[in-house]
Structure 1
Amino acid sequence: MRECKHMKKEYNQVGYIHSLESFGTVDGPGVRFVVFFQGCPMRCLYCHNPDTWKPGEGSRMSAAEILEAYKKNEVFYKNGGITATGGEPLMQLPFLTELFSEAKKQGIHTCLDTSGIMYRKERQEEFERLFDVLDLVLLDFKHSSESGHKELTGLGQKQVLEFAHALEERGIPFIARHVVVPGITDGVDHLNKLGKLLAGFSNIKGLEVLPYHTMGRAKYENLGIPYPLENIENMDAEKAKDARNIILRAFQEARSKINS
């Protein structure tokens, strides 16, 4: 593993990285350097990155190497920063914390794209170290209910909500993300419940509703994995906008009751 000699003593962790994207425009504010972490415990039915699931694969990289790559195009990130996504970055919490710690020393805005599924209260001290160097979270809300979340991802929703509350306690803002899948997460009742759920968090600063797409289907074929949503077509972008409006209306109604 190659390291910057003058920084060798500062970097102790090694991360497993799937890939790097130099000019990301949909993973946080501004133009961003996006780091795709390897490994994810969930198996979302609509996942378009099944090649990031297995832990311990990908390229072994130090924080020094990643930040060195960032520096090559730093001029373009003036209003952006670095985003950790995946996979699930919280599976590599010590390395993620080191990467963001070193990024903050260099004045780089840090953003985490996560499901929050790896959060555990018994590891609060470790998470506090991450929170100290975390500017923004893109938090995936897969579903509005425990049962729906488990059916969709294979895991329950408890840790996701606990993570969101932990962020709230620290005053760390998050942008909620939700994928609308035809026949699965586009129902009016579900969208209303999601809006009410989100209204309970004072640190939410945005909502991104993403239309389901089938672009990841080829990856499943290449990996020899059955595609879970074989008979479901792409979600129309306009319908995704309608879904966002439903969530927002429910959010605003619930928020007005909270504030009254």
Structure 2
Amino acid sequence: MQGYIHSIETMGLVDGPGTRTVFFLQGCPLRCAFCHNPDTLKRVGGRAMTPEEVVKLVSRYRSYYGEEGGVTFSGGEPLLQGEFVYECLKLLKREGYNTCIDTSGFGNPRFNAQILPLVDTLILDVKAFDRQSFLDLTTIDGFDAYLDFLASLDRNGFNGQIWVRHVMVPGLTDNKESMEKFIQIIKPIRNKVDRIEILPYHTSGVKKYHELGIPYRLEGVEPMDKKRAKEFEIYANKLFADELRQERADREKIRQEKFKELKEREVASEQEKAEVFQALRGLPLLNDVDEVDVEAVFNEVILSNIKAGELIFKTGDPPDFMYLIYEGQMKIYVNTVDGEEQIFYIYRDGDFVGGLNLLVQTPYRYIGQALTDCKVVVIPKATFDRYFYNSPVVLRSVLVKSFERIRWAEELIQRLATSNASMKTAGLLLKLVKRIGVETEEGIRLELSMSREELGNYSGLRRETITRKLGEFKELGYIELIGNRVIIVKDIEALERYVL
């Protein structure tokens, strides 16, 4: 495995935090009119290096990096050599280096999910602010692809900070309207943006075009005035700060409305609330609360009555509350592209949801809905941060439950992808046996809060299919059906043979 390096800057000060070794890689799919490195456009050329050689070289300069510095891959477009960059990043992170990529988002997307989790700082070049301008400037109809790249950062595991840059060309984007569009474009990644920079267009690369015999498309355009570019940078940062302030205000309004709604559902009796809270004190989540804080926590949490069918949260809701189920059952699900409901998990007495969202501050990616009438202890974020956040016991509980649900989801995905209807039905029954099964003389009793349609949604089958399969299992003597809500599993070994 080797990559092609155009040039190396050993003491870079502008391509990421601190002092850095910067590798400018060969190859770029864009043809930006203002590009000052046209000699990097070809994929092959320059110096061939292996990932091991990259790590060996940067080790010479490690003492200069300090706490913030490290290694940057720029270009050209580094993501075009995705496999090489990934192999380099793996070795660099293993050695503890800080990493950075300067990218326009165009490369080999096959490696993005492997590369992005290994990147500490992402420098994003925003070329233009609409489809036609992007095409005119880069000769590529790629504006939508760029927006898709921004939207994919979270999905592909990027957890670092982002520096956003835009090269301002006189007569093109040196106006307030363009800056307003700029801020709207980076809105989906706003929570990760650490810096917004406006780089003034310069003509230092024109000579290279003449030497290479390449027409320079901005011939005659004067360099951007640096002072004016800085003024637009200040304006863009102000717009961005205003957007964040407004977002926080809107979110606080939503949080207060949600709090009011939950408070209105609170049980009337303080005695009942006290009894519920005391019963839940046996759970690891609440058991670790210091005795001196118990009364304060009790006064801040809400015990809400939520009726079957009511939504508790929906996709995109901010992580403002954690929900601890005292009594009842709730489901989390998403609506698929074909309009079907795919259930991921059923929560019941003693379970909680939202802990991981509070810890990592990510919005809900699914819908939470009460399957039965529920009594739910609602813990506001401020209460969680004050009394739970620093507790190792609480953190362990949240992580253990999260991993359990991840395993459940992985098994669900595998079952949906590789199983036929009989296997899916048997697999679902076995899961329910582990989750809610009660041993009786007749067999293992499953008392369901889900309808046949919801059972189908849980297993990836249509209502009529799972109804038919349950009927077949009954005829075979594997189960007994009592109405629509009770199943007695009589031959668990027979069901296991379907999934082994």
The 8 Å contact of residues 196 and 236 in structure 2, kept in 1 or not, is answered as no
Offset at 1:183? Answer: 0.5
1:241 counterpart = 2:230: yes
1:138 counterpart = 2:123: yes
Offset at 1:119? Answer: 5.8
The 8 Å contact of residues 117 and 157 in structure 1, kept in 2 or not, is answered as no
1:25 counterpart = 2:10: no
Trace 1:209-224 onto structure 2 (pairs within 5 A). Answer: 209-224=198-213
For residues 242 and 93 of structure 1, what CA distance do their matches in structure 2 show?
36
1:77 counterpart = 2:62: no
Find the partner of 1:64 among 31, 40, 52.
52
Trace 1:115-154 onto structure 2 (pairs within 5 A). Answer: 115-118=104-107, 120=109, 123=110, 126-154=111-139
For residues 68 and 254 of structure 1, what CA distance do their matches in structure 2 show?
44
Q: Which amino acid aligns with 1:195?
A: I
The 8 Å contact of residues 82 and 109 in structure 1, kept in 2 or not, is answered as yes
**How many pairs align?**
244
Offset at 1:50? Answer: 0.1
1:106 counterpart = 2:95: yes
- SS of 2:102 mapped into structure 1: strand
Offset at 1:107? Answer: 0.5
The 8 Å contact of residues 20 and 35 in structure 1, kept in 2 or not, is answered as yes
> For 1:9-50, what per-residue CA distance to the aligned partner results, in whole angstroms no more than 9, with x for missing partners?
xxxx21011111100000000000000100001000000000
**Structure 1 unmatched runs, 5+:** 1-12
Taking structure 2 as the reference length, the TM-score comes to 0.47
Query: What percentage of aligned pairs have identical amino acids?
Result: 38
Q: Which amino acid aligns with 2:54?
A: I
1:44 counterpart = 2:7: no
Offset at 1:141? Answer: 0.6
> For 1:102-126, what per-residue CA distance to the aligned partner results, in whole angstroms no more than 9, with x for missing partners?
0001110010000002264xx3xx3
The corresponding residue for 1:166 is 152
The corresponding residue for 1:94 is 83
For residues 249 and 72 of structure 1, what CA distance do their matches in structure 2 show?
41
Offset at 1:75? Answer: 0.9
Trace 1:172-183 onto structure 2 (pairs within 5 A). Answer: 172-183=160-171
Q: Which amino acid aligns with 1:165?
A: A
The 8 Å contact of residues 17 and 58 in structure 1, kept in 2 or not, is answered as yes
The 8 Å contact of residues 38 and 56 in structure 1, kept in 2 or not, is answered as yes
The 8 Å contact of residues 150 and 188 in structure 2, kept in 1 or not, is answered as no
For residues 137 and 91 of structure 2, what CA distance do their matches in structure 1 show?
36
Taking structure 1 as the reference length, the TM-score comes to 0.89
Q: Which amino acid aligns with 1:129?
A: Q
Q: Which amino acid aligns with 1:76?
A: Y
> For 1:150-183, what per-residue CA distance to the aligned partner results, in whole angstroms no more than 9, with x for missing partners?
1111122122222222223433321101111101
For residues 15 and 115 of structure 2, what CA distance do their matches in structure 1 show?
19
- SS of 1:200 mapped into structure 2: helix
- SS of 2:23 mapped into structure 1: strand
Q: Which amino acid aligns with 2:28?
A: C
- SS of 2:164 mapped into structure 1: strand
Q: Which amino acid aligns with 1:109?
A: N
Structure 2 CA distance for partners of 1:119 and 1:185, relative to 1, 3 Å = farther
The 8 Å contact of residues 25 and 77 in structure 2, kept in 1 or not, is answered as yes
The 8 Å contact of residues 213 and 235 in structure 1, kept in 2 or not, is answered as yes
For residues 184 and 24 of structure 1, what CA distance do their matches in structure 2 show?
29
Moved more, 197-206 or 19-28: 197-206
The 8 Å contact of residues 119 and 163 in structure 1, kept in 2 or not, is answered as no
The 8 Å contact of residues 81 and 108 in structure 2, kept in 1 or not, is answered as no
Report the structure number with the largest CA radius of gyration.
Answer: 2
RMSD: 1.5
The corresponding residue for 1:251 is 240
For residues 38 and 131 of structure 1, what CA distance do their matches in structure 2 show?
20
Offset at 1:140? Answer: 0.4
Q: Which amino acid aligns with 2:118?
A: V
For residues 22 and 219 of structure 2, what CA distance do their matches in structure 1 show?
29
Which one has more relative contact order, counting CA pairs under 8 Å at least 6 apart? 1
- SS of 2:100 mapped into structure 1: strand
> For 1:26-82, what per-residue CA distance to the aligned partner results, in whole angstroms no more than 9, with x for missing partners?
000000000010000100000000000011111111011122211222211123000
The corresponding residue for 1:198 is 186
